[in-house]
Amino acid sequence: MLIRVEIPIDAPGIDALLRRAFNRVDEAQLIHDLREDGQLTLGAVATDDEGQIIGYVAFSPVSVAGEDRQWVGLAPLAVDERWRGQGIGRQLVYDGLDSLNEFGYGAVVVLGDPALYARLGFEPALRYGLSCRWPDCETRFQVHRLADDALEGVSGRVEYAEHFNRF
């Protein structure tokens, strides 16, 4: 298994994985649209020994209270069903966070299961006065700081790229 940054020829494999993992087309379409619009900050794939794509994570820009703070949102994260429970999801997220840290990004937000993301170092965003547009935000919206001072004096509504408004 190898984890690396996505390249253009990965697109069909990523599309197929996302459709399988989520049992619908929405996440695959989201990635397609973000990529087309140049709004994918970082995409990382996990591949098996034959080079098939078995895992994927993407990060795209978000604003905080209308300002660009060099923060990104993590979505989606997916691992092929046959490969789950082996730490691939964790490795994809950690590799992504490492790269974003090196590139100088301040923080990463995610809307997802706290049981999963707390294990990966995310904290409730509500703790920092951060909110999002979705109704289950209070319990499911989380943040992971990259820079030590990234969360200081920052609060308000976090907005993702417009393509997320379909959810």
Ligand X SMILES: CC(C)(COP(=O)(O)OP(=O)(O)OC[C@H]1O[C@@H](n2cnc3c(N)ncnc32)[C@H](O)[C@@H]1OP(=O)(O)O)[C@@H](O)C(=O)NCCC(=O)NCCS
- Catalog residues that contact ligand X under the rule CB under 6 A: 21-22, 76-79, 84-90, 112-113, 115-116, 119
CB of 153 to ligand X, least distance (A): 28
Least Å distance, CB 44 to ligand X, is: 13
Question: Which residues pair with residue 44 across a beta bridge?
Answer: 5, 57
Of 89 and 96, the one with the shorter C-beta distance to ligand X is 89
Cα–Cα distance, 116 to 148 (Å, whole number): 23
Give the shortest CB-21-to-ligand X separation in angstroms: 4
Output the smallest distance, CB 85 to ligand X, in A.
5
Residue 36 token pair? 């087309």
Distance CA 71, CA 104 (A): 10
CB of 24 to ligand X, least distance (A): 11
How do strand 67-79 and strand 53-64 relate by DSSP bridges? Answer: antiparallel
> What distance in Å separates the CA atoms of residue 44 and residue 16, rounded to the nearest whole number?
15
Spatial distance between the Cα atoms of 22 and 51, rounded to a whole number of angstroms: 21
- At 58, which amino acid appears? A
CB-CB neighbours of 93 under 10 Å: 24
- Inter-residue contact 72 to 62 (CB < 8 Å): yes
